[in-house]
Structure 1
Amino acid sequence: MLSMLNLFLRKAPFVRIVIPIIIGIYSAYKLPSSVYASAIVCITLFVSFSAIVFWQHKVGTYRYRFFSGFIGFIMLFAFAVLYFQLRKPSSIDSDSSTGIQVQVIQFIGETDKNHKYEVFLKGVACDSLLSYVDGKGIIYIPKEEPSTKHNTGDELYLSGHFIPFLKPDTRFDFDYSTYLRNQRIVFRYLVQGLDVVDVEPAYLHPTLLSVKLKNYLRNSYLNGGLSDAQLAILNALFLGDKSLLSYEQKSAFSKAGAMHLLAVSGLHVGIIYMLLLGVASLVRLKRKKVLMAVFVIACLWFYAGVTGFSPSVLRASLMFTILEFGRISNKQTGIFNLLGASMFIIILIEPLSVFNIGFWLSHVAVASIVMFYPKINNWVHFQFPPFRWMWSIIAVSLAAQIGTLPISIYAFHQFPVYFMLANVLLIPLVTPILLLALLGALLSFSSFCLQLILPALSSLLGLMEEVTLWIESLPFSIINNLYVAWWQLPMCYGAIVLLLVYINYRFLNHLKYALWAFIIVGSSFHVRKLFIPDEVVYVAKVSNKSVVNYIGPDANVVYSDADLTEKEVSFAFSGLWAYCNAKSAHIASKTNDKLNSLPVVYLVGGESLVILPKGAHWPDTLRATPVNYLVLMGQPAMSFKNLKQTMPAKHIILPSGWKWYQKKWLGEERDSVDNVHVVSKDGAYLMALSRN
């Protein structure tokens, strides 16, 4: 087994290089930052490695080459740590008020009260923050501002205050602050006043040029007759921007197993690559290899720039670029070495890419297709070409799913049951859609040409959405609340690799190793279930709404003081539900906020939990009933003293931000309450109990 691994790494040297680099970046993210100490370690290891290699070459012995390999591994690990520390993201975590000057990149969405814009920081009134100038940020402009529509390239003087990057309340919450930092977002800013700077910038940043081109193409498609829903799909599928997709569209494509079609990746770049080769053949560039390669590579990288250089597009563009160089030089490169080179270059450009789930899905999908597709495709042989073509799509889908399944469940906690059906029906639509979209982009200057092209494009996009909605509507289209822990991922992929080794070489020892690996993986899931609590109570503030989620063996109820959207529920609870293996279908219950509302009472693990609605009231002559946990969804229509007389509580939890009246309502009794948990100040409250 070790000899086979050594042979594989010899054939794919970039894989051997990139493994310690990735481990080093992940380690540097957790280690304390000390550039000086890391630099000394790197220099020491480099000198040691060079001395060992020189000695081995001088005496002509490679008996101890494993030692030089080990030192080389540690050296690359140390260099990765140093490189990450030099490029580690930083952010403005204070809530200080100061004036700033920004340049608008693009509009990225809205909240209930604000419009959101991505911007470049061009100036700041506070000298201590000058190091963040030219960094990206997000500004929130209130909707009541007289002019809330700003275009790419506009420069604004803003007054307001920064919004700190907060840690998630629990480990089940989506870590939005870390996500923004990994996108190199250095600040968030709530605008209280603004002035537009009437000045033409000296030059446009490449990012602004890309956004302006996207805006131009979007306006051309929209003016040509595409609906907003169709434009949102095309914007994601062709331009690599999902910001226009509604939550319902994202949910439908995700449940149908077709979300990968809306993420510009190797499939899309490969189709465009084939189209470019066809164009080059039409203009008779096929015989001029160098000129043809320059044309194809330039077009691919221009398209990658337009889509924003996402990891999947970068990976595909790099691989096709290397393939073109190989075609010119008549040399072939192994696919795994290509993948290793792609990962190495992407990490060199942006080390934070390793924390992007698309980086892993893109590379793992290609590796899995290369490993498993030939085997699966040979299971069935069809003489009829349409059947053979359809089976090849199914084989590719299965091969990609084998490799990406553990990561997908780890990140998204769900599995689309009809992913093969979605690929068979939707992938044939992608090629004509991309072809028409490309023609529309090239002929966007002519409204006449657009009127000829866009009706067909509109019909195809409409058909794509209808097919997706139909697949989503099928029974049992999605399995929710699946969970894979981070420490189970290496075990899953180890088992997959051992299975592949057995399939390729048919040695009984390899089958034994594969079976043991799958037994260990299965046992790990069983062991994890033993530690799952029987009942969970989660009290939080979701979009400024008081929320209590009770999860039991046969129940999953969400109580709130206001109606919650499906998006808010999914965003707030999907991680927790997956971890607890909760029922997929939750019951939403809005607490009655009328006068004399009755409490909701639960017995959780032998302890009493009372959820008290806003406006709750009952006679203070009732017999006192002690409770363990009292959750106040809103201010009761009775004083705390009267409440304490009839319902003395050991723990009081306030999910909403009651800062302005807490002291007044608690009154003189405030000092007698030891366990008051305020969610707005102390974070979400999580109570997990087991019956055993």
Structure 2
Amino acid sequence: MHPLDFISVRVCLSFIAGIILGWTFPTAPEVILFPLVLSFTFLLLTFLFENYRKGILFGIAVACTFLCLGFLSLSLSRPHFRPDHYSHALQEGLNLWEIRVQETLKSSGYYHKYLLEVNSLNGHIASGCILGLVERTKTSGLSAHDRLLFRGKLTPIPPPSNPYQFAYDEYMEVRGVYDRVVLEEGNYIQLGPTGLSIRGMALSLREGIVKALRATSVGREELGVMQAILLGERNELDPEVYQHYRDAGAAHILAVSGLHIGILLLLIRFFLRPLSALRHGKTGIALLTIILIWAYALFTGLSPSVVRAAAMFSFLSYALFLNRPSNTVNILAISALFILMIEPRFFFQVGFQLSYAAVLAIAWIYPVLMRTWYPSNRFLSRLWKLTAVSLAAQMGVMPLCLYYFHQFPGLFLLSAILLVPFLGLIIGLGIPVVILASLKSLPDLLASVYSSLIGGMNNIVRSIAEQEAFVLRDIPLDKVSLLLLYLLLALLVVSFQKPRFRNFLFLGMSVLCLQGWTFYQVEKYAGKQEIVLLHRVAGTGILYQEGRNLQLLSPDPGPLKPMAETFRMHRHLKTTSCQELPYSFRVGDKPWIVIDSTGRVPKVSEHASGVLLIQSPKVHLGRILEELRPKKVVADGSNYLQYVNRWQKTCEAHGIPFYSTAKSGALTLHQL
């Protein structure tokens, strides 16, 4: 049965379309009420006066109603539309905040990060969340549910400093966070802890488990993987190990999500199978399964990915109880609709998209693959089932992986065949290991065996990841290409199910559309000429694109090469070369000079159009401005901040525009 044949799928798609519209066009909730009432009235009229089972108008009315509901739910979920949001009560200058640590986020290279929930602002009740930053050189001692009194000023979360960098501001906006504060000694004090919420209790439980695990004999590298797989805690995961899992196509193993909950579901049903012999045993199995799934979600800290997976597999558990596997797609659509009605912003989170894409692909594509071959050998039959499941799931998530991560692991099937059995054993044995460690009763022998098991899995992953020839990297994919690729995959499955001329015609057209869009993207940048000054702390670099070639001009190109390669990939360029940054260069037909730490001012035959200051030169900028009379002065991220502030004041005094990449990000010097 085709997925679109289910009414639940159509309703869910209409609701998602409303969410996308609400995100694209931010609108206050009260504005959406009028079209919602109109569409609901239209729905009632078509239901009463039309044969709703056959009528087209009723279907249109349902789609419009759920589209408006999706739009409304997204608007209601936007924090700044709430009347008590802190943004409506901010005063100029410093404000007094009472905040609570809601969650510890993954640290960056410079800061520990916390998600802070606002309780009050200047003595008045307020709501909303802000990002809290503490320098990594300082120990904050903060943990979930701590209460703080903070006096300071908010600043917006800045956009990316360089072209095509990860947009952390957009990532946090999806979570309803728009501003940040820097917590320093003297601007906040810790108050007594607040009463724990359910999620606070879950996070405290997870923190206690992590501390207990650190006291065991499990190795450091293995402990990081263990925490990631069982608890969803990746702060202690070795970056090199994580990269190996990504290259092997097994990074999903390190995030507690649908795969883990699905394996847990199978394990629970296996151990509860004897109950089916009792009266109402199947009902008891279904209830206990759902209870144990949510208990595990609580056990892992109730992270959004785990909550989504637990909700999804609770519905799937109900479908298994009904013994109607053909309804899997229907149940998936209902579970997605249920989750998005509660929190519509989940739709824009990568974990939600990957989980549902994988499970939907398994529900739709896996039966198609299984009908292609019926091996009589028992071992081959099980191997083919595992291969078909992995292939279906990979087909579902491949476009998203290319869009977000720009690489494709060619040995993903080998990883799945070798690692999925490992994962079932690790989860099945890991839960009692964690419980015993929490009770401080974990035997050293069991800890050593479990550590060796994870170490063996890490070695397998490392061996697969080292086959560099099978890892396809730097694959550019934008949103249009993403949609076209999913359309192509859907038409490919449909053509395989029903090999008709019309289906093959549409499949061929989708291939041509994808190729045409890719060709357009290549040609769009092929004739471009652009000079971009990058921003990097303690680094200097200029990207010079001419046609499909890219040059990186820098005194130390090593740290800036990843930025250059990202730029090259998104622009569909051919080559990247590195050269030393000259002391003078031309932007179009205008000369620019570079002044570095030596303070040497290069001679030019005409007045400089611009001056680039790098590496904190000790110069008298006022004299240079009077002599050269440049039209613009630019300071990059390699300069001390106090120097930059002083230069800015000097330029203002001389009436010359000043630009700092530390404050405003990368600067395009020339574009044609």
Match of 1:409 in 2: 402
Match of 2:170 in 1: 178
Deviates most, 290-299 or 573-582: 573-582
2:65 partner letter: M
Deviates most, 224-233 or 160-169: 160-169
Structure 1: distance between partners of 2:452 and 2:541: 43
Deviates most, 357-366 or 110-119: 110-119
Match of 1:206 in 2: 198
1:553-632 equivalences in 2 (<5 Å): 553-557=548-552, 559=554, 564=559, 570=562, 576-582=567-573, 599=582, 612-617=595-600, 622=603, 624=605, 630-632=611-613
Indicate conservation of the 8 Å contact 1:21/1:77, yes or no: yes
Indicate conservation of the 8 Å contact 2:319/2:328, yes or no: no
Alignment gaps of 5+ in structure 2: none
Structure 2: distance between partners of 1:80 and 1:504: 32
1:89-108 equivalences in 2 (<5 Å): 89-90=79-80, 96-108=93-105
Structure 2: distance between partners of 1:100 and 1:666: 33
Match of 2:209 in 1: 217
Q: Report the CA distance between 1:475 and its aligned residue.
A: 2.7
Match of 2:59 in 1: 69
Distance change (3 Å), C-alpha of 1:646 and 1:525? farther
Instruction: State the superposition RMSD in angstroms.
Output: 3.6
SS at structure 2 position matched to 1:238: helix
Q: Report the CA distance between 1:226 and its aligned residue.
A: 1.7
Structure 2: distance between partners of 1:245 and 1:196: 31
Distance change (3 Å), C-alpha of 1:144 and 1:158? farther
Check if 1:363 corresponds to 2:360. Answer: no
SS at structure 2 position matched to 1:116: strand
Identify the match of residue 39 of structure 2 among 45, 65, 90. Answer: 45
Structure 2: distance between partners of 1:313 and 1:584: 42
Distance change (3 Å), C-alpha of 1:458 and 1:669? closer
Identify the match of residue 87 of structure 1 among 77, 82, 92. Answer: 77
Indicate conservation of the 8 Å contact 1:481/1:584, yes or no: no
Check if 1:15 corresponds to 2:6. Answer: no
The one-character-per-residue Cα deviations of 1:554-592 (angstroms, maximum 9, x if unpaired) are 54536377974xxx875x6675343113568775x8x8x
SS at structure 2 position matched to 1:252: helix
Distance change (3 Å), C-alpha of 1:116 and 1:490? closer
Identify the match of residue 662 of structure 2 among 680, 685, 692. Answer: 680
Distance change (3 Å), C-alpha of 1:148 and 1:315? closer
2:149 partner letter: Y
Indicate conservation of the 8 Å contact 2:86/2:121, yes or no: no
1:29-178 equivalences in 2 (<5 Å): 29-56=23-50, 65-90=55-80, 96-111=93-108, 114-125=111-122, 127=124, 130-132=125-127, 135-142=128-135, 148-169=140-161, 172-178=164-170
Alignment gaps of 5+ in structure 1: 592-597
Deviates most, 41-50 or 82-91: 82-91
Q: Report the CA distance between 1:600 and its aligned residue.
A: 5.2
Match of 1:594 in 2: none
Check if 1:503 corresponds to 2:496. Answer: yes
Match of 2:241 in 1: 249
SS at structure 2 position matched to 1:189: strand
Indicate conservation of the 8 Å contact 2:568/2:576, yes or no: no
1:248-397 equivalences in 2 (<5 Å): 248-281=240-273, 288-309=281-302, 313-332=306-325, 334-377=327-370, 385-397=378-390
Indicate conservation of the 8 Å contact 1:15/1:337, yes or no: yes
Counting aligned pairs with the same residue, the percent is 21
Structure 1: distance between partners of 2:311 and 2:110: 42
SS at structure 1 position matched to 2:554: strand
SS at structure 1 position matched to 2:600: coil
Indicate conservation of the 8 Å contact 1:556/1:583, yes or no: no
Distance change (3 Å), C-alpha of 1:13 and 1:667? closer
The one-character-per-residue Cα deviations of 1:647-674 (angstroms, maximum 9, x if unpaired) are 7766543223777446865898767776
Indicate conservation of the 8 Å contact 1:96/1:162, yes or no: no
Distance change (3 Å), C-alpha of 1:312 and 1:446? closer
Distance change (3 Å), C-alpha of 1:283 and 1:623? closer
Q: Report the CA distance between 1:503 and its aligned residue.
A: 0.7
Structure 2: distance between partners of 1:673 and 1:258: 57
Indicate conservation of the 8 Å contact 2:213/2:438, yes or no: no
Check if 1:426 corresponds to 2:419. Answer: yes
Q: Report the CA distance between 1:505 and its aligned residue.
A: 1.1
Distance change (3 Å), C-alpha of 1:464 and 1:651? farther
Q: Report the CA distance between 1:169 and its aligned residue.
A: 5.0
Q: TM-score, normalised by structure 1?
A: 0.84
Check if 1:548 corresponds to 2:542. Answer: yes
Q: Report the CA distance between 1:605 and its aligned residue.
A: 7.2
1:529 partner letter: V
Match of 1:461 in 2: 454
Distance change (3 Å), C-alpha of 1:317 and 1:148? closer
Distance change (3 Å), C-alpha of 1:600 and 1:428? farther
Indicate conservation of the 8 Å contact 1:92/1:164, yes or no: no
Structure 2: distance between partners of 1:66 and 1:56: 9
Structure 1: distance between partners of 2:439 and 2:333: 43
Q: Report the CA distance between 1:72 and its aligned residue.
A: 2.4
2:20 partner letter: Y
SS at structure 2 position matched to 1:506: coil
1:353 partner letter: F
Structure 2: distance between partners of 1:293 and 1:468: 35
1:557 partner letter: L
Match of 2:533 in 1: 539
Structure 2: distance between partners of 1:501 and 1:308: 40
Q: Report the CA distance between 1:312 and its aligned residue.
A: 5.1
1:117 partner letter: Y
Q: Report the CA distance between 1:16 and its aligned residue.
A: 0.9
The one-character-per-residue Cα deviations of 1:374-431 (angstroms, maximum 9, x if unpaired) are 4445656655544544444333333222222222211122222332232233222111
Structure 1: distance between partners of 2:401 and 2:380: 29
Structure 2: distance between partners of 1:373 and 1:430: 21
Distance change (3 Å), C-alpha of 1:108 and 1:409? same
Distance change (3 Å), C-alpha of 1:630 and 1:483? farther
The one-character-per-residue Cα deviations of 1:529-562 (angstroms, maximum 9, x if unpaired) are 1111555433233346544344554545363779
1:55 partner letter: F
Distance change (3 Å), C-alpha of 1:662 and 1:388? same
Q: TM-score, normalised by structure 2?
A: 0.86
Q: Report the CA distance between 1:177 and its aligned residue.
A: 1.7
The one-character-per-residue Cα deviations of 1:25-68 (angstroms, maximum 9, x if unpaired) are 111122242322211221122112212221225xxx877x2223
SS at structure 2 position matched to 1:46: helix
Distance change (3 Å), C-alpha of 1:446 and 1:243? closer
Match of 1:525 in 2: 518
Structure 2: distance between partners of 1:449 and 1:441: 8
Structure 1: distance between partners of 2:285 and 2:355: 27
1:364 partner letter: A
